[in-house]
Amino acid sequence: MAEHLPPEALDEWTRAACAELGLSPADVDIALVLDLARDVAHGVARPAAPLTAFLAGLAAGRDGDAAGAISRVTALAKGWNA
């Protein structure tokens, strides 16, 4: 089983993952993504957090507006009552 990643290692992981995927680390707002995951995990369900991050990433890839996609789905999660 893999060990948990310490918070200070997020920058290193982000750089490595971006290099593997052909992305620029400058385009990744780590705090915004983590806030999204937190809000979805608490407002919807824990398993919905990684799924929602993936969906927001797909939407951002299509329209080029990562912050907008994250903002919309965060608002959805904060108002979720299902």
Q: Which residue has the higher pLDDT, 6 or 28?
A: 28
- Give the residue extent of every domain in the chain: 27-82
**What is the DSSP code (8-state) at residue 3?**
P
The packing angle between helices 30-43 and 48-63, to 10°, is 130
**Looking at residue 12, what is its pLDDT?**
92
> In angstroms, rounded to a whole number, what is the distance separating the alpha carbons of residues 31 and 39?
12
6: left (phi over 0), alpha (psi -120 to 50) or beta: beta
Q: Is the pTM of this model over 0.85?
A: no
Rounded to 10 degrees, the C-alpha dihedral 33/39/41/43 comes to: -160
**Looking at residue 32, what is its pLDDT?**
93
Q: What is the pLDDT of residues 14-52, one digit of tens each?
A: 999 999 999 999 999 999 999 999 999 999 999 999 999
For the chain, give the percent of residues with pLDDT over 90. 87
Residue 1 has pLDDT above 60, yes or no: no
